[in-house]
Amino acid sequence: MTTLERAAEALAGNGFTVEILDSAAEARVRVEELIPAQACVFTAASETLRLSGIDDDINRSGRYRAVKPRAATMDRAAEGDDLRRLVATPDVVVGSVNALTETGSLVVASATGGQLPAYTGGAGRAIWLVGAQKVVPDLDAAVRRVQEHVLPLEDARVRRTHGQPSAVNQLLVLNAPPRLGHVTVLLLRETIGY
């Protein structure tokens, strides 16, 4: 049994719905199958989603009521509470995680915490795309991966795009989904994202 298969078995044992796919191209098709047309969908910031094309599929296709394009037009001062609720409670949140342990824990680091309410049960459903390189033996290795690998890459990206540093201000460990059927984890045999 491969590391990815062990992680998938552990995730399923913890109550997550898990599928192993060969490629990001397969994941794009599967994500479209999993999300009903016209669902309210929030895509969390994710290089995995960007590189796979899923971020554009959701936010530019017109098939869904995409949260990001709507949020970009909202007045933060006048509509701040509406924006917060929109991001926290979509029908579906699509994103990724920063590490997956062989024992079935998912680790998510965040600078702003914006995706965390939806990830922890605010969304009606969560779909997470996870590249094979994110599988690590245990939680200690997951935290090391976040600090030593993910943060430097994300910090460089955020400095280029926003002119400010990134940070790990929140660290979420999910050992089980908030409710059965809430989370689908699409594990990819290929490396994608960081």
pLDDT along the chain (194 residues), means of 10: 94 98 97 97 96 97 95 88 92 98 97 94 97 97 98 95 95 94 96 94
| Residue 24 to residue 39: CA distance in whole angstroms | 22
Tokens representing 140 are 């200690």
SS3 content of the chain, % helix, strand, coil (to 5): 45, 20, 30
SS (H, E, C) 79-92: HHHHHHHHHHCCCE
Q: What's the domain range around 184?
A: 3-188
Bridge partners of residue 106, in order along the sequence: 100, 174
Residue 194 lies in a domain: no
CA contacts within 13 A on the Cβ side of 30: 20
Half-sphere exposure of 14 (CA within 13 A, CB side): 25
Cα distances (angstroms) measured from residue 78 to each of 65, 67, 83, 88, 129:
21, 17, 10, 18, 34
Please give the pLDDT value at position 46. 95
pLDDT at residue number 1: 80
**CATH number for the domain that contains residue 25:** 3.40.50.10420
Tell me, yes or no, whether 9 lies in a domain.
yes
Q: Taking the model in full, what pTM does it have? A: 0.95
Copy the structure tokens of residue 20: 């192993």
Q: What is the count of structural domains for the chain?
A: 1
CB-based contact 74:83 (threshold 8 Å): yes
61 within domain boundaries: yes
In-domain check, residue 193: no
Cα 50 → chain centroid: 11
Contact 174/119 with Cβ under 8 angstroms?
yes
Residue 80: inside a domain, yes or no? yes
The set of residues, in sequence order, having a beta carbon less than 8 Å from that of 65 and lying 6+ positions away, is: 38, 39, 40, 41
Q: 186: part of which helix (H) or strand (E)?
A: strand 183-188
Residue 11 lies in a domain: yes
